[in-house]
Amino acid sequence: MNIQFRERPELAAKVQAKVAIADCDIHPARATKQELYPFLAKRWHQHLETYQEHPYQGMMEGPPYPKAQPNASRRDAYPPEGGMQGSSLSFMQKQHLDPNHVVLGVLNPLKTGQGLRNQDLAAAICSAINDWQIEKWTSKDARLKGSIVVANEDGVTAAQEVRKRAGDPNFVQVLLLSRNVEPLGQRRYWPIYQAAEEAGLPVGVHAFGFGGNPITASGWPSYYIEEMVGHSQCQQTALASLVLEGVFERHPKLKMVMIEAGFGWAPSLAWRLDRNWERLKSEVPHVKRRPSEYIRDHIWWTTQPMEDPERRDHLFDVIDWIGWDKLLFATDYPHWDFDDPSRVLPAGVSDANREAFYLGNAKKLYGIA
C-alpha cells in the first residue's frame, strides 16, 4: 500500500542521530498544579490556594514576555493524554529519548520555587520539586538525572537542600537561573557554591529567572526577540560576577555550566576581562589569575541554541578557544527552539570531538559511567 491515512498526525520520519547522546537541558513539566501536592506539607496546599505565589517580579503571573509558541514549547510536543508539553514521561520517551538515542538526560525544572519572595514557600516548593523529579522521572527512567533546585535568594537554606541531596545518584547538578536579585558572584549565594563543591556537584546556571530587575542592563525592551538575545547579556553579568567576586578562587574544585545562553560571546568577554584585570587588579586583589583562566578551567557550556554563523570556521574558532572538552550537547526539549541532534553540528568535526560534544564531556562532568 502506498497511501496511508492517519487518524492523528504523527512525527515526520527524519534522519535520526546515529550515535548515543547526552541531552543536558530537558525541561520536565507538571501536568497539573496539584501534582506537586504529595511532596508539599498540607500547610502549603492551603497557603497556595489562599495566597498563591508571590514572585520577585511585581505584578507577574507568568513570564513577562510572550513566547513564540504555546508554553514556549514545540506544538507537536503535547502529550496525547493531555497536559502541557514535557509533562508526560511516556511521551517524552517516545518522541525524544528513544528516537534521538538519549542515554543521559539532565532535567532542568524551570517553574519551581526559585524567584519567590516568601522564602519558606520557595524552599518548600524547591524541595518538593526535587522529590517530584525522583518520583515522576528519574526513578522511572534510568537515563534521566535530576538537578537540585534551591531557594536561590536564601543561600543558607539553599545550601541545606544541596547537602540533603548530596550523594543521591538521582541528581547530577545544582540548578540556578541567570536572573537573580543580585549578580551571581555576590556573597548571598556563596553558601550554595560551598555546598556544591563539597558535594562534588557542578552548578548549572540556566537562562531566565526573574529577580525583580529589568531583564536587560538598560531597562525593559519591547520585544520577545530582545529577551531571547538578551540571555547572553545576563549570563555575561553572572559570569563576570562569579570571576570577579573570587568565587573560583575560594572554590577551586567548583564546576559551573552555562545553560542555554550561547557560547559565542565567551572569548570576547574573557578578552575584555583580561585586559581590564591587567589594569584594575589592585581593585580586586582576590582575583589572582587572569579571568580567562578561571573561565576555561571552571566553565562548561551547553550548546542549544547552537550558534549558527554564516561561515562554519567562525564557529570552530570559538570552540577552539573554549575547548572541545567543555561543550555539552543539549536540545532544550520540549521548548520551541529545540536543537535536533542530527542537524546541529556541521561537517568537518573529528570523530573524537564529535563524541565528546554529544556524550563524552557530559558523562565525565556529571560522573556517569
Grouping H, G, I as helix, E, B as strand and the rest as coil, residue 94 is helix
- Name which position in 170, 183, 324, 336 contacts another protein (CB under 8 A): 336
353-357-363-366 Cα dihedral, nearest 10 degrees:
130
Number of residues written out for the chain: 369
- Minimum Å distance from CB 312 to another protein? 13
Q: According to the binding rule CB under 8 A, does residue 339 interact with another protein?
A: yes
* 74 near another protein, judged by CB under 8 A: yes
- Alpha-carbon gap, residue 156 to 88, rounded angstroms: 33
CB of 32 vs another protein, minimal distance in Å: 24
User: Which run of H or of E encompasses 25?
Assistant: strand 21-26
Contact segment (CB under 8 A) with another protein among 70-78, 99-107, 112-120, 288-296 equals 70-78
d(CA 127, CA 140): 19
Place of cell 576555561: 296
Find the shortest distance in angstroms from Cβ 314 to another protein: 17
In the list 39, 294, 338, 358, the residue contacting another protein (rule: CB under 8 A) is: 338
Among 10, 18, 282, 369, contact with another protein (rule: CB under 8 A): 10
Among 63, 69, 119, 355, binds another protein (CB under 8 A): 69
Strand partners, 147: 173
Name the minimum Å distance from CB 346 to another protein.
Answer: 13
Query: Which of the stretches 100-108, 248-256, 268-276, 339-347 binds another protein when contact is defined by CB under 8 A?
Result: 339-347
Q: Which stretch binds another protein (CB under 8 A): 195-203, 210-218, 269-277, 331-339?
A: 331-339
Q: Residues binding another protein: what is the number (CB under 8 A)?
A: 25
Quick one: angle between helices 119-132 and 42-51, nearest 10? 120
Q: Which residues contact 80 (CB under 8 A, 6 or more apart)?
A: 8, 91
Which range touches another protein (CB under 8 A), out of 6-14, 35-43, 116-124, 319-327?
Answer: 6-14
Q: Out of 94, 337, 349, 355, name the contact with another protein by CB under 8 A.
A: 337
Burial of 149 (0-12, 13-18, 19+ CB in 10 A): buried
From first CA to last CA, the distance across the chain in angstroms is: 46
DSSP SS3 for 300: strand
Footprint of another protein (CB under 8 A): 1-6, 9-15, 68-69, 74-76, 336-340, 342-343
